[in-house]
Amino acid sequence: MTYLRSLSAAGFMATAVGFGPARMGFGLFVPEFRSAFSMSAPLVGIVSSIGFAGYFVGLLMAQFLLDRRGPAAPVLTGLIAATAGLGIVAVAPGVPVLAAGVFIAGSSAGLGWTPFNDAVHRKVRDADRPGALSEISTGTTMGIAGAGAVALAAALAGFGWRVCWAIFAGAGAAAFVGNWLALRRIDKAAEGGSGRNWRHLLARAAAPLFAVAFVFGVTSAVYISFSADHFARQGLPGMPAGSTAAFVFIVYGLCGLAGLVTGRVRDAIGLTPLLRALLCSAGASLALAAQLAGSWGGLLLSAGLQGVNVMMMSAVLAFWSERLFPSFASLGFTLTVLCMAAGSVIGPALAGAISAAIGPGAMFYAAAALPLVAAALIRGEWVSERPAEIPEP
């Protein structure tokens, strides 16, 4: 196997574990956790927010470790965290230990994102970079769908959720070994490239980007945290017991493969129309979860639209950030992702409280309003080709 292939495969494994079961596994198994630990909607929201807080902390740690130790350190640290956190969930006796495991596992996605981009840009030639990055990013969708497949197998074969999380922990350990073999040859970056001041990125022109990233974080985290349980509670005709949540995440993950053609769609219709369409699809996905949770059509449309939205919006935010910050591409995107992560921390806890107060349907409608309002307010000049006027440090 060539080094390009081994690096791409390692990135695929790390992304599949970090953004699959480690980041989204809690939402997938909410029906089981509610039953096992008598969790209320507000408590579900709080634990989910704790998991996304782990992702936020992981992003900060990744930049620190990347600057000082190179990409191997944050990626391997993240996979250790994923393996440990997933294992802790598998043996959790109660909610406090469950929350600790979800937090530790959630940090792995934040630890692995930026470092792999750095590794590819430093070790892969220009012509091969798009293919390598696409293969690595595909790990997200396949990790989500794979986690759903494991949950479906558990429902059909009758083994418990703890076995599923033990399987996830084993996958994390395997990914650690593969990444250790692939990344040990990559040294720390040369000094001098990372000392830019964050204040140079806080220009007025960047405010719409950060606001959209925050809204995206809120709505995607709400969907991840509550949709599977909501569909499972409504029930679907002909579905084996306990399998509905698994189908939500399988459809979500597979439809996320649409993210691979985001660049082509942007070139065909433009970035602003694509951004508006994705914001509307996010709103429609949440509204469908509220309105049609008891039907196959509602599940397929809702989960499918959300999968497309999450993967394509992630790419759109990267495109938009790159336009605004051509001289600060990596740092600008990191701040964008931090805004998204902040929304992910706030969204589930707030949604859990709203769901307990006025019902899950109303909560989904309220969440749907956020991206729809953003789509109505967005202006083409905010997503223009002109970079923000940010002085060099």
pLDDT digits (tens, 9 = 90+) for 250-274: 999 999 999 888 888 988 998 899 9
User: What confidence tier does 192 reach under pLDDT thresholds 50, 70, 90?
Assistant: very low
Report residue 19's pLDDT band, with 50, 70 and 90 as the boundaries: very high
pLDDT of residue 240: 79
The domains located in the chain, with CATH, are 1-188 (1.20.1250.20), 199-385 (1.20.1250.20)
pLDDT above 90: residue 335:
no
What's the pTM?
0.90
pLDDT score of 191 more than 80: no
Which pLDDT band, with edges at 50, 70 and 90, does 163 fall under? very high
Q: What pLDDT was estimated at residue 171?
A: 96
Average pLDDT over residues 318-330: 75
Q: Which residues, 6 or more positions from 373, have their beta carbon under 8 angstroms from its beta carbon?
A: none
Residues 200/259, Cβ–Cβ less than 8 Å: no
Q: What is the mean pLDDT of the chain?
A: 87
**Range name among 243-252, 271-280, 384-393 with the lowest pLDDT average:** 384-393
Phi-psi label, residue 389: left if phi above 0, alpha if psi -120 to 50, beta otherwise? beta
- How confident is the model at residue 393, as a pLDDT? 44
pLDDT in tens, 194-238: 445 566 666 777 889 999 999 999 999 999 999 999 999 887 777
> Residue 372's pLDDT is what?
97
Tell which residue, 182, 206, 217, 231, has the closest CA to residue 71: 182
Listed as own residue / partner, the contacts of 309-312 with beta carbons closer than 8 Å and 24 or more positions apart are: 309/220, 309/278, 309/281, 309/282, 309/285, 310/220, 310/252, 310/256, 310/259, 311/137, 311/140, 311/141, 311/256, 311/257, 311/258, 311/259, 311/262, 312/258, 312/259, 312/262, 312/265, 312/274, 312/278
Check pLDDT > 90 for residue 319. Answer: no
Q: Is the pLDDT of residue 189 over 70?
A: no
Are the CB atoms for 17 and 190 separated by under 8 Å? no
